[in-house]
């Protein structure tokens, strides 16, 4: 069976429509190494190398914080901790995607088969419509990732800064470095070594931003395709039984049931493969969101408007990421449960008794809800989004009262 599935996967070609819908996801994910390609050795080497580099950089940051972390401002230390948490979380997500590459590969193979087997123009038009939505989402996410990373880098271009002491009696010269205290870079360091160090940190920040976008988009794109296939399945029920004999109804209905089983299997594969990835993302969002909220309140208490603005933007970004996952899970759950309404609204009263009886079994089966979850325990839907945001703002409110008193 595994050999048959492998041959099936390798025989499916990327047509023009599949490239339009999934090509951008494949390009970005391939660079990172998380796309489930046939050459697993190359992908594993790429992921392993990037994970080692990230964890090595995080270890260096932690060592610098322990040795001389108190020489910088609180915001600089917090930014370093946040980028270290994000980097560790990205390494975990890449590793989880790599471990689940077989299930992700089955989902992608199913998507390619769906694109290559389109018969009617209406289905193609609907799939292209959501393919366009996926490209817009991809573009917005990439622009956000590039803009966020670039702003962090541009704000700390290589230069010397003067830092007066508390009494303004002396001035200390410091070299800037992105997302790290300037005092970590010795003023006696050679210019060549300093620029090399600055460039490596800047590239690291840019990579962390794009890796975050890539992992998230990888899950978004596959979830969007599963959503579209549910939609096409339900639309087919409106016309598939019109003007057919009882024998033809039974035959066509059998294909409908088989297709429904296939989509549910792919949806379950998506849930099993992405649940760990989503859990790591949600955990990072909560940690980064809480840290950013604390920094925002402290800066507001001190009257530091620049830090307030920066932390507010960061909070908005993490809430947007959480909302996208929650919205995707909500729509997939709704689509999976929608079959009851689709069956009830179709002309079931014109079917033969045997087909009408089979419809009831499908409705009974749909009583078991489908969820995209974080770690198999937190359903990703709008209710969970509201609960997480409410808990975080309750924490912020208590902290704000403590600062006022």
**312-322 per-position pLDDT tens digit:** 888 898 999 99
Whole-number pLDDT of residue 228 = 92
Q: Cα dist. 257→114, 244, 261 in Å? A: 16, 17, 6
The stretch 99-114 carries a mean pLDDT of 91
Distance CA 296, CA 309 (A): 8
Separation between Cα atoms, residue 273 and residue 328, nearest integer Å:
15
Residue 366: closest CA among 279, 267, 299, 291:
267
**Worst-scoring range by mean pLDDT, 42-56, 120-134, 311-325, 350-364?**
350-364
Q: Which stretch of 12-26, 184-198, 281-295 has the lowest confidence by average pLDDT?
A: 184-198
pLDDT at position 173? 61
Q: What is the pLDDT of residue 3?
A: 43
pLDDT at position 241 is: 59
Structural domains of the chain, count: 1
> pLDDT band at residue 168, thresholds of 50, 70 and 90?
low
pLDDT value of residue 194: 86
pLDDT score of 172 more than 70:
no
Q: Which of 70, 24, 67, 30 is nearest to 46 (CA)?
A: 30
If pLDDT is split at 50, 70 and 90, which confidence band does 1 have? very low
What is the overall mean pLDDT for the chain?
83
Q: Determine the Cα–Cα distance for residues 114 and 106; give it in Å rounded to an integer.
A: 12
Q: Is the model's pLDDT at 49 over the cut of 80?
A: yes
Report CA torsion sign: 128, 134, 135, 136. Answer: positive
Q: Which of 146, 90, 95 is nearest to 284 (CA)?
A: 90
pTM exceeding 0.85: yes
- Give yes or no for residue 385 having a pLDDT over 90: yes
Query: What pLDDT does 169 receive?
Result: 56
Instruction: Say if residue 223's pLDDT is above 90.
Output: yes
Between 60-64, 215-219, 315-319, 326-330, the lowest mean confidence (pLDDT) is in 60-64
CA gap 279, 287 in Å, rounded:
12
User: Containing domain of residue 140, as a range?
Assistant: 2-404
Q: Dump pLDDT digits (tens) for 107-138.
A: 999 999 999 888 788 888 999 999 999 999 99
Encode 206-242: b = buried (16+ Cβ within 10 Å), e = exposed: bbbbbbbbbbbbbbbbbbbbbbbbbbbbbebbeeebe
Does 193 or 179 have the greater pLDDT score? 193
Instruction: Report the pLDDT value the prediction gives residue 2, as an integer from 0 to 100.
Output: 46
CA distance 398 to 402: 6
b/e burial code for range 266-304 (CB count within 10 A of at least 16 → b): bbebbbebbbbbbbbbbebbebbbbbbbbbbbbbbeeeb
Mean pLDDT computed over 285-296: 88
Supply the pLDDT for residue 384: 93
Residue 73 clears pLDDT 60, i.e. is over it: yes
Instruction: Quote the CA–CA distance of 16 and 6 in Å, as a whole number.
Output: 22
Q: What is the mean pLDDT of residues 152-177?
A: 69
Cβ atoms of 380 and 325 within 8 Å: the answer is yes
């Amino acid at each position: 069976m595994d050999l048959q599935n492998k041959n099936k996967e390798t025989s499916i070609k990327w047509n023009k429509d599949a490239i339009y819908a999934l090509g951008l996801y494949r390009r970005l994910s391939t660079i990172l190494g998380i796309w489930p390609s046939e050459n697993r050795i190359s992908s594993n080497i790429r992921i392993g190398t990037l994970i080692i580099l990230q964890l090595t950089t995080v270890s260096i940051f932690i060592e610098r914080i322990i040795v001389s972390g108190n020489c910088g401002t609180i915001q600089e230390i917090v930014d370093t901790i946040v980028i270290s948490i994000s980097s560790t979380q990205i390494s975990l997500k890449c590793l989880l995607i790599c471990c689940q590459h077989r299930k992700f590969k089955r989902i992608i193979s199913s998507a390619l088969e769906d694109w290559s087997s389109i018969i009617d123009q209406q289905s193609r038009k609907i799939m292209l419509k959501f393919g366009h939505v996926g490209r817009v989402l991809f573009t917005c996410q990439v622009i956000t990732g590039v803009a966020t990373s670039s702003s962090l880098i541009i704000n700390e271009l290589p230069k010397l800064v003067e830092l007066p002491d508390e009494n303004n009696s002396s001035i200390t010269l410091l070299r800037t470095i992105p997302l790290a205290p300037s005092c970590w870079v010795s003023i006696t360091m050679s210019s060549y070594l300093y620029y090399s160090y600055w460039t490596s940190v800047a590239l690291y920040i840019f990579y962390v931003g794009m890796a975050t976008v890539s992992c998230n988009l990888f899950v978004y794109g596959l979830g969007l395709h599963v959503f579209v296939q549910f939609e096409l399945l339900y639309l087919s029920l409106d016309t598939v039984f019109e003007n057919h004999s009882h024998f033809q109804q039974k035959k066509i209905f059998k294909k409908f049931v088989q297709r429904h089983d296939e989509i549910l299997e792919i949806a379950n594969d998506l849930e099993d493969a992405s649940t760990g990835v989503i859990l790591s993302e949600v955990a990072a969002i909560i940690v980064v969101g809480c840290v950013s909220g604390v920094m925002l309140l402290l800066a507001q208490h001190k009257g530091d408007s620049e830090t307030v603005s920066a932390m507010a933007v960061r909070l908005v970004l993490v809430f947007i990421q959480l909302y996208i996952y929650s919205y995707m899970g909500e729509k997939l759950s709704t689509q999976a449960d929608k079959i009851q309404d689709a069956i009830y609204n179709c002309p079931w009263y014109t079917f033969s008794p045997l087909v009408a009886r089979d419809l009831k079994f499908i409705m009974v089966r749909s009583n078991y809800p489908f969820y995209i979850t974080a770690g198999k325990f937190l359903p990703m839907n709008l209710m969970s989004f509201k609960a997480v945001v409410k808990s975080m703002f309750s924490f912020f409110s208590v902290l704000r009262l403590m600062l006022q008193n």
